[in-house]
Amino acid sequence: MQNIFKIVFLFHFCFGFCQQKNIGLTHLETQKTEADAFVGKDAFGYNYTLSDNVFRKENKQQKWDYKNIALGKIEQVDLTNPLQIVLFYKVMNAVVVLDNQLNETIKINFSETNPELLPQWVGLTTQNRLWLYDQASQKLGMYDYQKNTFHPISVPFETPIIHSKSDYNYFYWVDNQQNLYASNNYGKISFLGKIPEFDQIQIISSKQILLKKGALLNLFEVEKQTSQIVSLPEKSFDNFYYKEQILSIFTTNEIRNYKIILP
């Protein structure tokens, strides 16, 4: 009976996490780059990269750089709004907000303004606020960067966050048990499903996730618990980014852009 149970369990696991279909794509262009890391691409065709901890925005005609040596390493970049780009300097407990020409518009040093906070994840939301997960209290909340106030909207999280992504209305996160959750602006938390292990991840929506594991890129359907392989010609790549039907693949010295239509 125990063996039968194991077989049934493995069947359901593989049906959800191992079922594979392929998603095709069309090559659009290849761009040379000397960047250390690829952050993303916006709807206007600008690439965002990091080189020696310098944040860069560029296309074929224009280029802007932002560097702040005093704040140390850039830990996280939020491109929710290209007019309000959020840079998070985790070690120095600081956040910088940039405009579309990478001019500094807001700088927050939490060690000075809110020493009780220990931000771990930060992202842009509405009404002059930031999503902020505070590691000290283990609570998710809203930070008003004009008033320098933090308003928790959750009880303490029971498990550590290993990845997060946010937009104006939702904060998504994956915990160390591979569980995917979402919270709205009012603190209503929803369990969305379990996801496979990954090396890199981009949460597209509450229903779809792109996962890199080894040299493979998969589209994972959270509700259906099924995955589809994205048919990449690259045998290996460093990073990827998806935005409005454009999939950008970052290799050692190139950014390759593909047209892709997700089901």
- Please state, rounded to an integer, the average pLDDT across all residues of the chain: 93
Assess whether 74 and 148 both reside in one domain. yes
Residue 168 near residue 127, CB atoms below 8 Å: no
pLDDT by residue (tens digit) across 151-195?
A: 999 999 999 999 999 999 999 999 999 999 999 999 999 999 999
pLDDT by residue (tens digit) across 59-96?
A: 999 999 999 999 999 999 999 999 999 999 999 999 99
The answer, yes or no, to whether residue 219 has pLDDT greater than 50, is: yes
Q: Which two tokens stand for residue 90?
A: 């985790």
Domain of 52, in residue numbers = 1-61+195-263
- pLDDT recorded at residue 19: 52
Assess whether 74 and 57 both reside in one domain. no
Assess whether 40 and 121 both reside in one domain. no
Assess whether 19 and 37 both reside in one domain. yes
Non-local (6+) Cβ contacts of 177 within 8 A are 159
Q: What is the mean pLDDT of residues 207-213?
A: 98
C-alpha span between 72 and 91 (Å, rounded): 7
Q: What is the mean pLDDT of residues 224-233?
A: 96
First to last CA, the chain: 39
Would you say residue 213 lies in a domain? yes
Assess whether 56 and 124 both reside in one domain. no
The answer, yes or no, to whether residue 15 has pLDDT greater than 50, is: no
The answer, yes or no, to whether residue 9 has pLDDT greater than 60, is: no
- pLDDT recorded at residue 152: 99
The answer, yes or no, to whether residue 4 has pLDDT greater than 70, is: no
Assess whether 96 and 111 both reside in one domain. yes
Would you say residue 180 lies in a domain? no
Would you say residue 188 lies in a domain? no
Assess whether 83 and 121 both reside in one domain. yes
Residue 121 near residue 164, CB atoms below 8 Å: yes
Would you say residue 236 lies in a domain? yes
- pLDDT recorded at residue 11: 40
- pLDDT recorded at residue 136: 98
Work out how many domains the chain is built from and give that number.
2
The answer, yes or no, to whether residue 132 has pLDDT greater than 70, is: yes
Q: Which two tokens stand for residue 201?
A: 């991840």
